[in-house]
Chains A and B, each alone.
Chain A
Amino acid sequence: MLRGSLPLALLLVSLAGCPGGNGGLGEACHGNDDCGGGLQCFASQCAPRCQRAPDCGDGYACDDNGLCKLATGQRGDLCSSEVDCAPSLACRIDGAAIDPATHHLQATCLEQARMRLSGDTCIQDSDCRNWTCALGRCVDLCRQPRDCALGETCVEIPRVDANGALFAGCLPTQGSLSWSIPVTAPAAEVLLPVPAVARSVELVMAVDDPTQKVGAQRVLSPIGATIYTQPCSPLLSTADQPCEDNDAADQYFGNFDPGRPDTGNQVRHRAALGQSVLLMPSALTTPLATGDYVIKVASFRADGSGGSAIPRVTAVIKLDSGATLDLHFFFLDLTDHPCLDPGAVLNAGSAVSGAFQREYLAALRDVFTAPGVAIGDVTYEDITDRADLDGLDVANAGALLSLGRYATGINVFFVRSLSPLGIQAWGPNPGPAGLGGTPQSGIAIGLDTLCYRRWPAVARLTAYEIARYMGLYHNVELGTARHPTWRDPISDSGDTSSNLLYFSAAGGTDLSAGQAALLLRSAVLR
């Protein structure tokens, strides 16, 4: 740990020529008793007491009284926190050995490595000064939050290189983390470490060949239970392994009966052309577990057989309970749209006032207020150089949604029309929350709807698509009468059309407590 605001503060005070006396800030001292209230004697000068170890600099701990304590751990000594090791040493995880006292991975003080500091991005341990690369970032070991920098806390993190054994490390208290997981073959197992504070976790899988599908084939929980198996493919149906369309649908919708956790899929996921997202949890009855999830990722041909494309995999973990939804509106060329009032204009300039604000954005805000989501930043931009996307064929939606560059919040694109006509909105379910610029980074709303619905209905439509992006599913499907399991995995969402996730224009804006709780876990929110 190198950061330290306290030594810098002392230096500045000294340079300013502080006259000293009565134990004031920057005055000479021999012990803490020489300094006034709220100060400590640090490096022979009175200095502010610390709140966090990094306030003191490399090789110090911050004790319960706010006093910086020089670490005594020498090379080869056991440690459990970065603050145990003397300056220029780092507390480094020692293979897979477990400390019987803490049940965490054992660690030892060793020389610091390269210059990447705690919190910097990394690919491997040797990238980090403290020898620990986890969740795509350099992580300091810790025993308590005070060992970590302000804005971080001390949490249990599974160590991929040690079969998911846990260590305690410093992670941010706010926001999301995303990192790439290397894959070198068309089908491969990846380990997804889920720390104790994770609210939700997603794996975004992509291939460059748009004619191939990509997705997860199997997911094992940290305790080794199979919680997801890819639904069968009717195109690969055989006498030994028959698979009709309804079989594939049954398997996709899964069995989310918490009373039978060992049967059926506990996670909803489907491979898709070009990119797909695996989001967990699918329901709070199957909560996330701390540890390594083992996920077999693969590319597939259109018929479901093995593909040749090598997947690119990105993990995203939401760490906090932030409930602010940013909205980023993009307007294609809507000039002279027949469904706008005569003479009306809808673009980034006009949307900041008028009906768009009064009737649309206000209604959208109302929908999300009920589950506790506040609308945060709202931005407006025109897209004037993509005439090919003005009337969007949903088969080409990736070209539009890739323009959604905002990683937090939702990118909402207003297009003249969606094709096939009759479709009113389009978006991934779920979407790559926390990632911008992917072929699924947003939703599209067709303005044709305004020929037969008013703005509040367009707002409900937008809210529905946003909720799907964030990981909610139709509360019931069209075929539920014949197929009772074709419904969402949330036990209290019910069958009613008053629900926001009802699949038709007859739907309402209600969300059940279970749906709201899941919505609030999305990495879309900040």
Chain B
Amino acid sequence: MQPFALIGKITMDFVNNLGAMAIFFSLAFINIFRRKQVREIINQVYYIGATSSLIVMLVGLFTGMVLGLQLFYTLVKFGSVGALGSAVSLSLIRELGPVLTAIMITARAGSGMAAEIGILRISEQIDAIYTMRIDPVRYLISPRIAASIISFPLLTAFFDLVGILGGYATGVLLLGTNAGTYFYRVQSSLDMVDIRGGFIKSIVFAVIVSCICCFQGYFCHMRTDGYGSKSVGLATISAVVLSCIMILIADYVVTSFLM
């Protein structure tokens, strides 16, 4: 009976959390379109997007360089080195760009969101906001979700672009593939469908990451596994781990719909 009860409890907790998160997201999303939000959204775009751009581009550069290196030696076995541009660009734009960008933003800005909101919660600042007749979800969560939806596709685009240049650096500059062939292949193999698919994924990831990170921070005081500052730490860990897992699961689901 005990194991069944445990499975039941876990399932019910999971469903409850899922429901709570859906309501939380809906409330936050509706409040994006309320007045006096633009300034806050711009601040968050700066925090989530602009300050993450360097690290995202750095990861993009080295991902592209590794891809260029690996694919060159694979393709050379089949005498298809000319397809390097296609292979690098398609891998980046369809899969690696959105996924790695989302994971990098989760690590950098997502953890920050969870920790910041968690600290606001345990220091009663969220209660203080409520007592001043300001909706904390509207003030704290909505701008972060809106900013994520704006920043994720833009950063993904940066990642893709710099990644393709990274592939060029190893494939062309280092290993001697023809530059014209590389860029011709990039251009000819990419369809709008691929680019659109990548952006759809990045928007889905933006919703997932911002929602999970904000939710974990906002409700860190209700955790049963830790209180006070420990609950903020645990909320941050949960936010990052859950976001990464959900990014990969969502990637599969969205890809299967797009294919």
Genuine A/B complex: no
Chain B interfacial positions (CB closer than 8 Å to A): none
